[in-house]
Amino acid sequence: MRILGIESSCDDTAAAIVEDGQRLLGAERLSSVLLQRRFGGVVPEVAAREHAMAVLPVVQLALERASLRARDVDAIAVTQGPGLLGALLVGVTFAKALALAWEIPVIGVHHLEAHLYANALVEPLRFPALALIVSGGHTTLSYWSEHGKLLVLGATRDDAAGEALDKGARLLGLPYPGGPEIEKLARGVAGPPMFPLPIAKLGTSSLDFSFSGLKTAFEELTRRHPDKRAEAAQSLQEAVVEALCRNLERAFERYPVSQVYLAGGVTANQRLARRVIDWGASAGVAVCIPPPVYCTDNAAMVASAGYYRHQLGDSMGPQEGPKTPWALQDVWVGGI
Ligand code: AMP
Ligand code: MG
């Protein structure tokens, strides 16, 4: 089954065709990040306008790259939420119209669920698994027992991990998005961090995350040591990686699975990857981290998630629109 995936929840307009949830046939993506950079972040109206201009050519190019025509597509999957409302509206409305014209079903996909399916493009999924999603807007740790069955174990109570890196980068005068810039700057610094930063403790049983205290401490650090930018960047990166790994390891104590899946833009970070892979090797857990092109927002993951949702009997009704906010737990019905 060939599914056309469409992603427009933030600043990337993306389309991809995926066969049977696993095999990428063709993809195209246009990011408005350079335009957004002028504003220091994503401006919702700017993102929506860019999607409106880009979505049709991006879909056409993805089909061209796959050497496919409209009649070769069996269904459309689109990010239905959560995300920027105006941005989602463009993708959802376009997908519904296209599905109507092509007389095929349309499936609305949860953006975070889609991030997890980036792993299905790398290898056949194995359950049960622990799943860690770390992106610009979300930090979520879940127990994934099978397709359609997931239990959210912890999420951020304030800023997302990517947001903490983005804000930290801004304090260092680095451009948006800040995560890759922090990584680049930190690469020149070896050894333990010069400035140990606080990692939120939210009680012994909690698997939630909190990055707002870290942000405040980092702000203070940059004021006190303006000449130690690389050391500060490395300290911030280490603190974020430590916070993520600590909860993952804690979750593993309660749910001793043999598979861990990572997803989201921040998992492009090589330091995080190294830490999780090393831990996996010592704990006897297989770790899958999709390549960066599948970690950041893309449409192949949307098409893959759409395939498995379709298998579960999901489709989007004619009167449905974007869903935002939309809690991940609400999508994943059913017990463990
Ligand atoms: P997403 O929301 O999934 O599109 O991911 C975007 C987020 O990932 C932003 O906060 C980026 O700063 C962050 N990001 C992207 N690449 C890296 C990297 N190499 N290291 C750390 N964070 C990154
Ligand atoms: Mg995302």
231 alpha carbon – ligand 2 mean position (Å):
28
98 alpha carbon – ligand 1 mean position (Å):
31
| Nearest ligand by distance to the CA of 263 | 1
Q: Is the dihedral of CA 164, 242, 214, 141 positive or negative?
A: positive
Q: What ligand 1 atom has the least distance to the C-alpha of 178? A: 12
Q: How far apart are CA 122 and CA 109, in angstroms?
A: 19
299 alpha carbon – ligand 2 mean position (Å):
11
Q: Which residues of the chain have pLDDT under 70?
A: 333-336
260 alpha carbon – ligand 1 mean position (Å):
19
Tell me the domains of the chain and their CATH numbers: 2-117+294-330 (3.30.420.40), 124-289 (3.30.420.40)
Helix, coil or strand: residue 219: helix
Q: What ligand 1 atom has the least distance to the C-alpha of 237? A: 21
User: What was the pLDDT predicted at 212?
Assistant: 94
User: What was the pLDDT predicted at 334?
Assistant: 62
104 alpha carbon – ligand 1 mean position (Å):
34
Q: How far apart are CA 176 and CA 190, in angstroms?
A: 24
Determine which residue's CA is closest to atom 3 belonging to ligand 1.
265
- Alpha helices (H) in the chain, listed in sequence order: 33-37, 44-65, 85-102, 111-116, 161-171, 178-186, 212-224, 229-254, 270-283, 292-295, 300-311, 328-331
Determine which residue's CA is closest to atom 11 belonging to ligand 1.
179
Closest CA to 80 of 115, 48, 104, 110: 110
Q: What ligand 1 atom has the least distance to the C-alpha of 160? A: 10
- The predicted-structure confidence for 182-216, as pLDDT tens digits, reads as follows 999 999 999 999 999 999 989 889 999 999 999 99
- Answer whether 0.85 is exceeded by the pTM: yes
Q: Strands 139-146 and 149-155: what pairing? A: antiparallel
User: What was the pLDDT predicted at 336?
Assistant: 59
